[in-house]
Amino acid sequence: MYKYAPVFISLSLAGLYALGLAFHTSYLYELGIEESQFSLSIDRLFFQGFLALMDFSSKGILWLTLSAFFIAILASLGVEAMKSLQILPAEPKYQKEHKKAEN
């Protein structure tokens, strides 16, 4: 579980950075201001990205969470169905070898 944490964190930060930059650039464009006049530091871009994410996609986060939950349920039901139809082995190969080695 912990070995995937850096990947998740880096992808989240890259997403927040891109969202913050797009939000800031479009905000200045709508006001008719050139973006080079108001450059933001990286922490402000992350903050703008977080605000844009919370303001514009709170409903999207709810649907994303529900979708992920139902996909996980369907995947686990599929695995159990494949095990009951004996398409997948009930025990992984390494567990069988370990039991043989103990005996």
Looking up tokens 């709810």 gives 62
Give per-residue pLDDT as tens, 62-82.
Answer: 777 888 899 999 999 988 887
- pLDDT in the model for residue 92: 64
H or E segment at 95? helix 93-102
Looking up tokens 């850096």 gives 6
Which percentage of the chain shows pLDDT scores above 70? Answer: 80
Copy the structure tokens of residue 44. Answer: 């402000």
- pLDDT in the model for residue 101: 67
How much is the pTM?
Answer: 0.48
* Stretch 10-32: mean pLDDT: 86
Give per-residue pLDDT as tens, 45-63.
Answer: 888 888 877 777 767 777 7
